[in-house]
Structure 1
Amino acid sequence: MALNLSVKIHPVVLFQIVDAYERRNADSHRVIGTLLGTADKGVVEVTNCFCVPHKEHADQVEAELNYAMDVYELNRRVNATENIIGWWATGNEVTNHSSVIHEYYSRECREPVHVTLDTSLQGGRMGLRAYVCVALGVPGGKQGCMFTPIDVSLTSYEPEIVGLQLCQKTMAPNGRSRQVQPMQDLAQVSEAAAKLSTLIEQVLQYVEDVLAEKTVPNNAVGRQLLELVNSVPNLAADSFTDAFASSIKDLLMVVTLAQLIKTQLQLNEKLTLLTGTQ
Structure 2
Amino acid sequence: MPSVLSSKTILPDKVVVHPLVLLSVVDHYNRVSGNKSKARVVGALLGSVKNNVLDVSNSFAVPFEEDRTNPKVWFVDHNYVENMYYMFRKINAREKLVGWYHTGSSLRQNDLEINELFKRFMSNPLLCTIDVQPKEEGLPTSAYMAVEEINDDGSPTMKTFAHISSEIGAEEAEEIGVEHLLRDIKDTMTGTLSQKVSTQLIAIEGLARSLKEMHQYLCDVVSGNITLNNQILYQMQNIINLLPNLNVEETLHSLTIKSNDELLAIYIASLVRSVIALHDLINNKIAVREVEKDELPIKLKKIQKKDENEEKTKKDVAKDLKTTTFEIEENSKKF
Length-normalised TM-score, structure 1: 0.59
Cα distance, 1:81–1:214 mapped onto 2, change above 3 Å: closer
Give the corresponding residue for 1:170: 184
1:20 partner letter? H
Give the corresponding residue for 1:42: 52
- Tell me the distance in 2 between the aligned counterparts of 1:4 and 1:217: 40
The structure whose Rg is larger is 2
Q: Which moved more, 1:115-124 or 1:7-16?
A: 115-124
- What is the Cα deviation at residue 131 of structure 1? 0.7
- Tell me the distance in 1 between the aligned counterparts of 2:158 and 2:120: 16
Identity within the alignment, %: 27
Q: Does 1:151 align with 2:165?
A: yes
- Tell me the distance in 1 between the aligned counterparts of 2:76 and 2:55: 25
RMSD over aligned CA atoms reads: 2.9
SS at structure 1 position matched to 2:173: helix
- What is the Cα deviation at residue 125 of structure 1? 5.3
- What is the Cα deviation at residue 2 of structure 1? 3.1
Q: Does 1:71 align with 2:81?
A: no
- What is the Cα deviation at residue 3 of structure 1? 3.9
- What is the Cα deviation at residue 127 of structure 1? 2.2
- Tell me the distance in 2 between the aligned counterparts of 1:133 and 1:108: 15
- Tell me the distance in 1 between the aligned counterparts of 2:183 and 2:148: 45
- What is the Cα deviation at residue 123 of structure 1? 2.6
- What is the Cα deviation at residue 83 of structure 1? 0.5
Give the corresponding residue for 1:131: 144
- What is the Cα deviation at residue 21 of structure 1? 0.4
Q: Does 1:18 align with 2:26?
A: yes
Give the corresponding residue for 1:200: none
- What is the Cα deviation at residue 144 of structure 1? 2.6
SS at structure 1 position matched to 2:163: strand
Q: Does 1:56 align with 2:69?
A: no
Q: Which runs of 5+ in 2 are unaligned?
A: 1-8, 193-253, 263-335
- Tell me the distance in 1 between the aligned counterparts of 2:117 and 2:173: 34
Cα distance, 1:214–1:161 mapped onto 2, change above 3 Å: same
SS at structure 2 position matched to 1:16: helix
- Tell me the distance in 2 between the aligned counterparts of 1:89 and 1:138: 29
Higher relative contact order (CA 8 A, sep 6+): 2
1:169 partner letter? R
- Equivalent residue pairs, number: 182
- Tell me the distance in 1 between the aligned counterparts of 2:39 and 2:108: 12
1:55 partner letter? E
The answer to whether the 8 Å contact 1:54/1:62 transfers is yes
- Tell me the distance in 1 between the aligned counterparts of 2:142 and 2:261: 33
- Tell me the distance in 2 between the aligned counterparts of 1:3 and 1:71: 26
Query: Among 96, 101, 105, which residue is 1:88 paired with?
Result: 101
The answer to whether the 8 Å contact 1:35/1:50 transfers is yes
Cα distance, 1:105–1:141 mapped onto 2, change above 3 Å: farther
- Tell me the distance in 2 between the aligned counterparts of 1:217 and 1:131: 42
Give the corresponding residue for 2:266: none
SS at structure 2 position matched to 1:45: strand
The answer to whether the 8 Å contact 2:33/2:40 transfers is no
- What is the Cα deviation at residue 17 of structure 1? 0.5
